Amino acid sequence: MPESPVPIEEGQKASADDTPTAQRIVINWMVDTNGSLRTRPGISNAALNPGVYSRTTGTSTGIIGAYVWKNVTDALYYVVYVRADRTIWALNLQTLALQTLSSTSDTTTTLQGGASHVAWAEDSQRLIIAGGGALQQWTGVGLTSRLATYTFAVNQPPTAATHVVSIGNYLVANNATTPNLLLWSNLGDGSHSLWNPLNFNTADADPDPIVALYPSLREVLAFGSKTLQVFSLGADPNLPFATAVSLNVGCVAPYSPVQLDNAYAWLDDTRRIVVSNGRGYEVLSDDINKLLRDLGTVTDCFGFRARMAYWDLAVWVFPTEGKAFVYDLNRKQWCQWRGWNGADDYAGVRISCYAPYPQGNLHIVGDPSYENLWTLDGASFSDTGPGLPIVAERVTQRLDFETASRKRCRRVRFFVKRGQASSSATEPAYLDVAKRDDDGPWNAATRVNLGLQGDYTSFRDWYPGGIYRRRQYRIRFSGGVDVSIHKAVEMWTPMGEFAE
């Protein structure tokens, strides 16, 4: 009896062979370093004051940006975050004491501008925040304040900065009112309060606006809507940032760039995920380019890198579309992260921003709807922060096991980690499995018992039967326990090369 692997470890791909009702998908399933399948990290609220961060009501108080900063005054770590109402808050990560950094009676203590996301920079004395208006600072004591005062022809800090970079004792920012200019603070001005009107350079490779700025060692990467221009830091105090190189690759989502060590990956102007160090580029998203181009709104995409549990991941969240595409940097493959609507369908993943805290081994994420701070937790198997299950689903490609003749299925065997459900549970955990033959309809789903605590048989068999030439399998799981599938195989019998 032939035995063929069911390829459950493959990543997300888009193909002309897909059909709308049976598109191959990988949602919330991840592959670990041993090739085993398990659910994505859960969104947990166990570590960051769950008594406070469990809100389900509020008006426009979702979190639009967060950053972990070591306070220069008390040498303690804080997660500083900005709410959608532009107020700024700080949570002491040692004591979990929360303090407001904005005053309701003083608008200069709130973040100015209307950017959908927040950019951060720091120097040895302060944390700097850009949100589409004047730059904001926090020195670690009291409330935040405007970084500098604008006086025409005398002192001209950016008034509409969406991005800011700290490099070589300068602050560098863009300015939406002068869209292709790069601005920087005066040399030797430790407070960054002085911005000479002549402190600018022009991204003139193309007349496209600068939509984002990111640092790379002693260089600033200026992402335009159609080009990428690199400015290197030199010794000339009159023109410290000079053009080094330009690429004809743009950026369609200003907060999509993700730093991958000495390079960045981002959503370019043709809706590809590309990676570049400024001297050339490669495309990472060939497997999902069609899926990206089928999306409606992509300009609000933001990205981050998460090194956690078994994985090194680059994540791009598309809030309007309710999807996140995740690239496993080790396995070089894609999957999707989705949330759940609490009833019968997927929803957007509840992540609005990401702030790593390596010293505490935490991966902090903000809630897009309410003022909640949660963590991505590789040991959590449900989204306990939003209070929803993780529903994982995988639909394989059409499988013919390298023969076009008809085949009779004898069984499908799943090699799984069993017995993870509590012994006090009334129901074990289950896999929900279904099959589809020769482009026909899906059969009714079958439940494969994964057992209660104490059930440790290393495999479970499923007997879907049927005769087919090509078959697809669908595997779903939402049990909220630690389950892994090491591999799946189908045992089948050939019906003869010319059998009809």
Location of structure tokens 């680059």: 314
pLDDT digits (tens, 9 = 90+) for 187-209: 988 899 999 999 999 999 899 99
| pLDDT at 451 > cutoff 90 | no
Confidence of residue 77 (pLDDT cuts 50, 70, 90): very high
- Please state which of the ranges 85-89, 342-346, 427-431, 432-436 shows the lowest mean pLDDT: 427-431
- CATH number of the domain enclosing 135: 2.130.10.10
In a domain, 499, yes or no: no
pLDDT exceeds cutoff 60 at 168: yes
The CATH number linked to 486 is 2.60.120.260
Note whether residue 480 is domain-resident. yes
- d(C-alpha 123, C-alpha 141), whole Å: 15
Classify residue 468: in a domain, yes or no: yes
pLDDT confidence of residue 87 = 97
Same domain, 96 and 233: yes
The pLDDT of 353-369, averaged and rounded, is 97
How remote is the C-alpha of 232 from its chain's centroid? Answer: 29
Percent of the chain with pLDDT over 70: 98
Cα–Cα distance, 446 to 230 (Å, whole number): 56
- Name the pLDDT band for 467 (thresholds 50, 70, 90): very high
Predicted local distance difference test score (pLDDT) of residue 371:
96
Residue 294 near residue 285, CB atoms below 8 Å: no
Look at residue 220 and tell me whether its pLDDT is greater than 90: yes
Q: Is the pLDDT confidence value at 425 over 70?
A: no
Question: What is the residue-averaged pLDDT of the chain?
Answer: 94
Q: Tell whether 31 and 166 lie within a shared domain.
A: no
355 with 460, same domain: the answer is no
- The mean pLDDT value for 258-275 works out to 97
Alpha carbon 322 to chain centroid distance? 12
**In this structure, is residue 224 part of a structural domain?**
yes
Residue 219 pLDDT > 50, yes or no?
A: yes
Alpha carbons 66 and 209: distance in angstroms, whole number = 26
Quick one: pLDDT band at residue 438, thresholds 50, 70, 90?
very high
CA 195/CA 150 separation, integer angstroms:
9
User: What is the pLDDT at residue 499?
Assistant: 46
Q: Which among 353, 386, 419 is the end of a domain?
A: 386
pTM of the model: 0.95
Would you give the distance in Å from CA 13 to the centre of its chain? 18
Q: Which of 336, 362, 386 is the last residue of a domain?
A: 386
Please indicate, yes or no, whether residues 147 and 239 belong to a single structural domain of this protein.
Answer: yes
pLDDT category, 235, cuts 50, 70, 90?
Answer: confident
Looking at the structure, do residues 401 and 340 belong to the same domain, yes or no?
A: no
Asked whether 117 and 353 are in contact (CB, 8 A), the reply is yes
Classified as helix, coil or strand, 78 is strand
Query: Residue 424 has what pLDDT?
Result: 59
Would you place residue 360 in the very low, low, confident or very high pLDDT band (cuts 50, 70, 90)?
very high
Average pLDDT over residues 131-147: 98
Cβ-count burial 72-109 (b if 16+ within 10 Å, e if not): eeeeebbbbbbbbebbbbbbebeeeeeeebbeeeeeeb
Same domain, 36 and 46: no
Please count the structural domains in the chain: 2
Residues 338 and 430 reside in one and the same domain: no
133 plus 179 within the same structural domain: yes
Token pair, residue 46, equals 């166990």
Print the domain residue range for 461. Answer: 3-40+393-494
> With bands split at pLDDT 50, 70 and 90, how would you rate the model's confidence at 91?
very high
Q: d(Cα 277, Cα 233) in Å, to the nearest integer?
A: 16
* pLDDT grade for 500, boundaries at 50, 70 and 90: very low
Task: With respect to residue 426, please indicate whether it lies within any of the assigned structural domains.
Answer: yes
What is the percent of the chain with per-residue pLDDT over 90, rounded to a whole number? 86
Please give the Cα distance from 255 to 326 (Å, whole number): 16
Provide mean pLDDT across the span 361-366: 98
Buried b (16+ CB within 10 A) or exposed e, 462-476: bebebebebbbbbbb
- The verdict on 68 and 158 lying in the same domain is yes
- Confirm whether 56 is domain-assigned: yes
Which amino acid appears at position 144 of this protein? T
Domain boundary among 386, 413, 431: 386
Q: How confident is the model at residue 301 (pLDDT cuts 50, 70, 90)?
A: very high
Give 111-141 as a DSSP string.
Answer: --S--SS-EEEE-SS-EEEESSBS-EEE-SS
